[in-house]
Each structure stands twice: as structure tokens, then as C-alpha cells.
């Protein structure tokens, strides 16, 4: 019940009780007084002359009755007062004794003020403990928005900091930070200007100078996509509850890449200083302090040297492609996977960006520029989010499916005449050697030569057996697609980075749903199946899926790829270490089948000549993908080595990298050279065009 109601009820109760007691007391008293008064007046014979005893008696009785009535109201008044006091006491009881603790806390809160101490964000290190992302102190000049009203201060600041007045004004007008927060005017200000501002507080009212910690990226653009960037916490971020961290407005949080993926490890826990404050909120004494718990340092599986090398190789390969006439080559990715545990040793995506641009909140202009079509979308991590047809690199997976379902047997040969007319002359499909032909070849040779027609035949067999026109619709199956999905296609690999794409393994159901509006296109055709077998058509894979699939073939087991290695404490001791994780779906295959695939890949690697300088043998596959919207083909090269005991698997993809796969091959060749310490020199590009 509400305490006010309680107090009033109690008061009314007291009032009524007092009334009853007083009225009964009054009756008793009045009766006694009446008899006494009568007795006395008669006893003393104070009766005036000419007044009969009867009259006196009557007058006395009358008077007594009147007085009794008049006095009744006095007693009523007393009871009313008792009721009022009862109400007040009940209310005080409720406030002071029932809710006393609550109000005590509120009184404490009045007197104290909590100031949070930010925790230092943990660093990101490479697998050897070298710093990839750290923190550095920066002298920051900030000012309250009200400084806008004083032109003199702005002009003085402009002179001292060497920043144009207009720029300062714009910074002060910034509405993306809270109205009460100071606007940052200059980072990394020189000691000279800092001391000048500090020594003349009168000239710079509302301007504050403080040492802040800012995120530093020691190697600029290196592994930018993988590391990601941070930014000020937004209202949407604050809405998502994080079990460990209570964010405050103005905090910086990971927005992409590893910065986002390991946010809860990196962020740390804020400390609190409690001050006693006066009524105006000015601190008068420090009462207590809870020190902050700094964020943990996270080691990634990345090897800094290798990463910087692949970044450079990727950029050089693309530049050299352009110089060799493929002027549309503009993007690509390289991934180096450690086969032992699925750790990513290097992951490069081109074009790149500088994460440092984001540390203080990126400007709208730059953001718009980075998200324009012309920019080539530098923020996209193409290694995990770029979607391409896998092209010929996919033949090993359709080949494995063909063997599993008995379409390709040990002596299965198909004949390549350069053009395949199984479904009529009008629907003839060419092999890449057309107008030549591969002649009759077995599976290993088909992989080595990357013969399209061999795999068209495989696709046609799959179609006829499981999804042909003469099979009832409800009895059709997708064994090929199921097998491809078991190698990790069509769904994310599960890498511990945000933004990984699903890719797509098309089947009849997908096509029916996607083309629901145009039924004539919705039918699953034999051409869909044959295209799928050569990695074209509607198939889409990410570079990570492809390298992960090849890694699966190389180690004959699927592992979840990852970039997290371990968390170390201040002394460098490991606190949390990565435990290798097998993929939830594992492909099933015969050892003989996979041996034939590997044999084909080994032959191909030998033929390519790209691994001649390596101390170990390798296995590799090329791919040249036709992308309808592109002006040139997207090229792949994927390889693993050593052949016998595989250690690394590398993929390189170059968008519009040109015919054949020479540019992608170049990327993988140089990457392996770096892995095995072979000096190939630099990729030849003209000096002026080399990007840094």
C-alpha cells in the first residue's frame, strides 16, 4: 500500500480513537461536575434575593448543558490535532524508518561524484608477440562548444595550433559528439603550442589540453582488413548489452576485423574514482578509487613479416597486371593458411585503407569516398567477403564428388574434341583449349590439363542420374551439391572475424526460389549442373572457402580457420590459448579418391613451373573465372606444400587479372618463396607505379 494512504488511514484511526475516548471522558466528567455544582450551590445558599431555588436549579442545568455542548467542540478539536499529528508521524515513520536506507543512499549520491577512469585497450600482436596495433599518448586540444561564441579565442587557437579558423569552427560545430562533450580540435599537438595554451588559461577559456591515449597502427595499412578499426561507441552499440562491459558515451569500441571480433578481450574494465563534491559539484576530496583493469593483449596467428610481404606481393601483382595490359585489374586477395591448426598466417586484401583514419571518428567525406563505386570498396575484406566463381579450381571438388558417386571410376576416360555437343550442336560448350582438344584423358590428366569437357560429362551424369527430366520431381536429389557443401562451400567457414560471407552452391530449390518471378528461368537445367562442375554458373565462393577446401584436401580433414592465437598477460604468459577445432561437417571420401586428386594437382604444379625453386614439392590448381559484369576474367591460383607433409595452403585471387592465371600464379609463387625463405627478388613493376 502507498505510504501516503497508510499515513492518512492511520491518522484517521487515531482521530476516531481519540474522539471516542474524549467523548466518553467528557460524559463522565460532565455528569460528575453537574452533580457537584448543584450540590455546592445549594449547600452554600448563594441564591440571590427573589429567585426561587427551582429557577436557580433550572438555570444551572441549562448552563451546564450549553457548556457541555460548547466544550464538545474543543475536544473534537483536540482529536483533530491528534489525528493530524498521527498522520505526520506515520509519514515520518515511513520515510525515515521504512525507506531510510534508500534516502541515505540518495544523500550519499548527492555528496559524491563518480568519475570513471578509462581502461587502456589491449594490444593486438602477431604470433611472435610483435605489436600490430598498440596505443600511444597524444596531446589533445579540446574545447567546449561555447568557445564558438568567442571569436578571439578561435583566432588565438588558429594561430597557436596552425589550423585554419574555418576548420576549427567546423570541429566545434560537430554534432556527432554529445552536447556536453568537448570537441577535439587537435591531436598530437606540439609541446610548444601545448605549453603556450597551458600557460595562458585566461586567453583560452573553455579550452582544455589533455594527454589522451590513441590507437596506433605501427605498420600503417598492413593487415588493415584483418585488424579492423575502432570508432566512438554509438547509440546502437550502447543498446546491445554486453555481459562484461558497460560502455559509456565517448568510449571507443572495435568496429570491424579483429578489433571487433576480440572486443570483449581488448576493452578492459573501467575504473572509478569517487569524489566528495560540494553543492555545485566541485570535488573537494578523493574518497575511493577502483583502478581500471586494462584490456588483454591478444596474439593473432598472423606472422608480421609474412603479412607485410603478402600485402606487398598482392599490390605488386595487381600493379604488374595492369602494366601488362589488364588495366582493369583493381582488386584481389591472398590468404596463407597454416595447415596444422587452421591458423591464418597472412591475409591480404586489396585495395586497403589506413585504420588510423578511424581512431578519432572518420570524417564523413572520407567515409563517403571509401564507400563509393570508384574507390573499389577498400573497406571490404575480400579474403572473407569477396564472392567469385571458383572456376577450374573447383574441378577437384566435383571430381571428388564424381568419384564418390561412381561416375568417375579408376579407368573412366572422356574424350575432349574442344567442343562438347552432348545436348545438341546449338548448345555446344567449348573447352578452354578450343579449337584444339585434349583427346581421351583420365581423371588425373583432366585435373592436370584442367579439361572442361571431362567435367561437363561428369555434370551431365549427375544430372541424368539424380535430377533429370524423367525423374519424378519429389525423387530428385542433390548428391553433388551435398558433397560440395561438405567441403565447406555455401556456408561460412566460421573464421573468428566478422563479415564472412556465405557464398553459394546452387541447386534446383535455390533456382526455383530465386527465379520465382520468371518461371521460364527457374528450371534446373543440365547446363546448370555442367557449369557447376567447372566452378562457373551461379556458384560463388570466397577466397577463404577455397583455401579452406584445399586445406581440407591437403590434410584430409576440415578444420575451422581462425586468426586468434592466444591471450597473454603483462609478463607475456599465455592466459588463454587457441584450441584447434574441427569443422562440424566433415566430407567423406576414399583415400584412393583423394590420392588421385592430389596426383593431378601435383602434376599441375610441376607443369606450371612456379615451384621449381622451392626446396619442397607442391600441389596447385589454376582457375580463370568468367564474371559477366567484369571487363576481364578473375583469376585464381591455389596451392599447398610440401606435397608429402603439407604445411601451408595459399590462395591468390585477382579480380579482372586477365587471361590465364599468370598474375594469381605470380602471387602464390612469391608467397611460397617468402614462406620457404627463397629470394626471388621483387616483382617487376615500374618504380613510379609501385604502391606503398
Partner 1 sequence: MAITPRMESPKPLAAPGAFSSHLRRIIGLANIPLLATIAALSGYGLLVVGSAIAGSPEYSFRRQTMGIVIGVVLLLIFWRVDYRRFSAWFAPLLVLDIILIISPLLPFIGVTINGARSWVNIFDQQLQPGELAKLVTIVMMAALVSRYGGRIPTVKDYLRCLLILFIPIVLIMLQPDLGTGMVLFAIGAAILFAGGADWKWLVLTLLALVALILLAFFIDPLLDQAAGHDVFLKQYQKNRLLVFMDEDLDPSGVGYNVQQAKIAIGSGGLFGKGLGLGTQSGLGFLPEAPTDFIFCVLAEELGFVGCLGLILLYAALIGLSIWAALRSEEFFGSLAIIGILGMWVFQILENIGMSCGLMPITGIPLPFVSYGSSFMVVNFMALGLILSVWSHRSTRPS
Chain residues binding partner 1 by CB under 8 A are: 4, 7, 46, 48, 56, 59, 62-63, 66-67, 69-71, 73-74, 77-78, 80-82, 84-85, 87-89, 91-93, 95-97, 99-100, 102-104, 106-107, 110-111, 278-279
Rounded Cα–Cα distance for residues 113 and 630 (Å): 61
Q: Whole-number minimum distance, CB 109 to partner 1, in Å?
A: 9
Beta strand pairing call for 439-441 and 564-568: unpaired
Where are the extended beta strands (E) located within 351-477? Answer: 414-416, 419-420, 429-430, 439-441
Q: Enumerate the β-bridge partners of residue 567.
A: 298, 576
DSSP code at position 688: G
**Cis omega (within 30 of 0) on the bond before 413?**
no
Q: Which is nearer to partner 1, 152 or 284 (CB)?
A: 284
C-alpha distances out from residue 635 to 158, 432, 553, 618, 625, Å = 52, 14, 21, 19, 6
Helix boundaries (H) for 214-354: 224-227, 235-239, 257-261, 263-266, 304-323
Q: Which is nearer to partner 1, 37 or 678 (CB)?
A: 37
Q: Which is nearer to partner 1, 178 or 281 (CB)?
A: 281
Selection from 25, 104, 106 nearest residue 72 by Cα? 25
Selection from 73, 71, 78 nearest residue 17 by Cα? 78
Q: Which is nearer to partner 1, 33 or 176 (CB)?
A: 33
Q: Whole-number minimum distance, CB 59 to partner 1, in Å?
A: 6
Q: Which residues, including other chains, have CB under 8 Å from residue 247's CB and lie 6 or more apart? A: 233, 237, 238, 253
Q: Which is nearer to partner 1, 202 or 281 (CB)?
A: 281
Rounded Cα–Cα distance for residues 215 and 186 (Å): 15
Q: Which is nearer to partner 1, 53 or 84 (CB)?
A: 84
Q: Whole-number minimum distance, CB 144 to partner 1, in Å?
A: 21
Q: Whole-number minimum distance, CB 295 to partner 1, in Å?
A: 35
Q: Whole-number minimum distance, CB 251 to partner 1, in Å?
A: 25
516-548 residues labelled b (16+ CB within 10 A) or e (exposed) = eeeeeeeebbbbbbbbbbbbbbebbbbbbbbbb
Q: Whole-number minimum distance, CB 2 to partner 1, in Å?
A: 11
Q: Which is nearer to partner 1, 67 or 613 (CB)?
A: 67
Contact 286, 272 (CB under 8 A): no
Q: Whole-number minimum distance, CB 8 to partner 1, in Å?
A: 8
Q: Which is nearer to partner 1, 104 or 366 (CB)?
A: 104
Rounded Cα–Cα distance for residues 119 and 121 (Å): 6
Selection from 458, 453, 462, 442 nearest residue 420 by Cα? 453
Q: Whole-number minimum distance, CB 505 to partner 1, in Å?
A: 59
Q: Whole-number minimum distance, CB 286 to partner 1, in Å?
A: 17
Q: Which is nearer to partner 1, 82 or 605 (CB)?
A: 82
Contact 349, 508 (CB under 8 A): no
Amino acid at each position: 500500500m502507498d505510504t501516503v494512504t497508510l499515513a492518512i488511514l492511520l491518522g484517521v484511526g487515531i482521530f476516531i480513537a481519540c474522539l471516542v475516548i474524549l467523548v466518553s471522558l467528557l460524559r463522565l466528567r460532565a455528569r460528575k461536575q453537574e452533580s457537584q455544582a448543584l450540590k455546592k450551590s445549594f449547600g452554600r445558599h448563594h441564591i440571590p434575593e427573589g429567585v426561587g431555588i427551582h429557577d436557580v436549579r433550572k438555570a444551572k442545568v441549562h448552563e451546564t448543558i450549553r457548556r457541555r455542548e460548547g466544550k464538545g467542540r474543543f475536544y473534537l478539536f483536540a482529536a483533530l490535532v491528534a489525528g493530524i499529528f498521527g498522520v505526520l508521524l506515520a509519514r515520518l515513520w515511513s520515510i525515515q524508518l521504512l525507506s531510510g536506507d534508500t534516502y541515505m543512499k540518495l544523500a550519499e549520491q548527492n555528496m559524491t561524484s563518480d568519475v570513471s577512469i578509462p581502461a587502456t585497450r589491449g594490444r593486438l600482436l602477431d604470433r611472435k608477440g610483435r605489436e600490430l596495433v598498440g596505443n600511444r599518448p597524444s596531446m589533445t586540444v579540446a574545447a567546449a562548444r561555447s568557445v564558438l561564441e568567442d571569436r578571439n579565442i578561435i583566432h588565438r587557437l588558429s594561430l597557436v595550433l596552425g589550423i585554419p579558423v574555418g576548420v576549427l569552427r567546423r570541429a566545434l560545430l560537430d554534432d556527432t559528439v554529445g552536447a556536453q562533450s568537448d570537441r577535439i580540435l587537435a591531436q598530437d599537438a606540439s609541446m610548444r603550442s601545448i605549453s603556450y595554451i597551458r600557460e595562458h588559461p585566461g586567453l583560452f577559456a573553455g579550452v582544455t589540453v589533455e594527454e589522451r591515449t590513441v590507437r596506433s597502427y605501427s605498420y600503417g595499412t598492413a593487415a588493415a582488413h584483418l585488424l579492423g578499426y575502432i570508432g566512438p561507441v554509438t547509440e546502437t552499440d550502447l543498446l546491445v548489452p554486453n555481459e562484461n562491459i558497460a560502455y559509456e558515451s565517448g568510449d571507443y569500441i572495435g568496429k570491424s576485423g579483429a578489433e571487433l571480433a576480440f572486443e570483449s578481450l581488448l576493452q578492459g574494465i573501467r575504473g572509478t574514482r569517487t569524489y566528495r563534491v560540494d553543492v555545485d559539484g566541485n570535488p573537494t576530496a578523493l574518497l575511493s578509487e577502483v583502478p581500471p583493469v586494462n584490456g588483454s593483449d591478444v596474439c593473432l596467428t598472423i606472422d608480421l613479416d609474412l603479412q607485410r610481404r603478402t600485402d606487398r606481393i598482392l599490390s605488386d601483382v595487381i600493379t604488374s597486371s595492369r602494366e601488362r595490359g589488364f588495366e582493369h585489374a583493381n582488386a584481389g586477395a591472398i590468404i596463407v593458411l597454416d595447415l596444422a591448426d587452421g591458423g591464418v598466417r597472412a591475409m591480404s586484401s586489396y585495395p586497403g585503407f589506413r585504420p588510423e583514419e578511424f581512431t578519432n571518428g572518420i570524417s564523413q567525406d572520407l567515409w563517403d569516398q571509401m564507400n563509393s563505386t570508384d574507390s573499389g570498396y577498400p573497406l571490404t575484406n575480400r579474403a572473407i567477403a569477396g564472392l567469385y566463381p571458383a572456376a577450374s579450381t573447383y574441378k577437384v571438388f566435383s571430381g571428388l564428388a564424381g568419384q564418390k558417386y561412381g561416375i568417375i571410376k579408376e579407368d573412366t576416360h572422356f574424350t575432349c574434341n574442344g567442343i562438347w555437343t552432348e545436348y545438341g550442336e546449338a548448345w555446344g560448350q567449348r573447352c578452354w583449349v578450343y579449337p584444339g582438344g585434349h583427346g581421351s584423358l583420365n581423371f588425373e590428366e583432366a585435373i592436370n590439363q584442367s579439361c572442361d569437357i571431362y567435367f561437363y560429362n561428369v555434370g551431365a551424369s549427375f544430372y541424368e542420374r539424380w535430377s533429370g527430366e524423367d525423374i519424378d520431381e519429389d525423387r530428385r536429389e542433390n548428391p553433388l551439391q551435398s558433397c560440395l557443401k561438405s567441403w565447406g562451400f555455401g556456408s561460412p567457414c566460421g573464421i573468428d572475424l566478422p563479415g564472412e560471407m556465405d557464398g553459394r552452391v546452387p541447386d534446383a530449390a535455390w533456382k526455383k526460389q530465386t527465379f520465382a518471378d520468371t518461371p521460364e528461368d527457374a528450371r534446373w537445367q543440365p547446363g546448370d549442373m555442367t557449369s557447376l562442375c567447372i566452378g562457373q554458373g551461379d556458384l560463388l565462393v570466397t577466397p577463404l572457402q577455397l583455401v579452406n577446401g584445399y586445406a581440407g584436401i591437403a590434410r584430409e580433414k576440415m578444420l575451422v580457420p581462425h586468426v586468434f592465437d592466444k591471450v597473454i598477460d603483462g609478463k607475456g604468459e599465455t592466459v588463454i590459448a587457441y584450441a584447434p577445432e574441427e569443422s562440424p561437417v566433415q566430407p567423406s571420401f576414399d583415400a584412393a579418391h583423394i590420392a588421385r586428386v592430389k596426383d593431378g594437382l601435383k602434376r599441375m604444379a610441376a607443369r606450371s613451373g612456379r615451384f621449381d625453386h622451392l626446396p619442397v614439392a607442391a600441389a596447385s590448381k589454376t582457375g580463370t573465372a568468367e564474371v559477366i559484369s567484369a571487363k576481364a576474367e578473375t583469376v585464381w591460383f591455389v596451392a599447398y606444400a610440401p606435397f608429402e607433409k603439407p604445411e601451408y595452403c595459399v590462395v591468390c585471387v585477382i579480380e579482372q587479372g586477365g587471361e590465364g592465371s599468370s598474375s594469381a600464379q605470380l602471387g602464390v609463387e612469391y608467397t611460397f618463396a617468402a614462406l620457404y625463405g627463397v629470394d626471388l627478388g621483387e616483382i617487376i613493376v615500374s618504380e613510379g607505379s609501385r604502391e606503398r
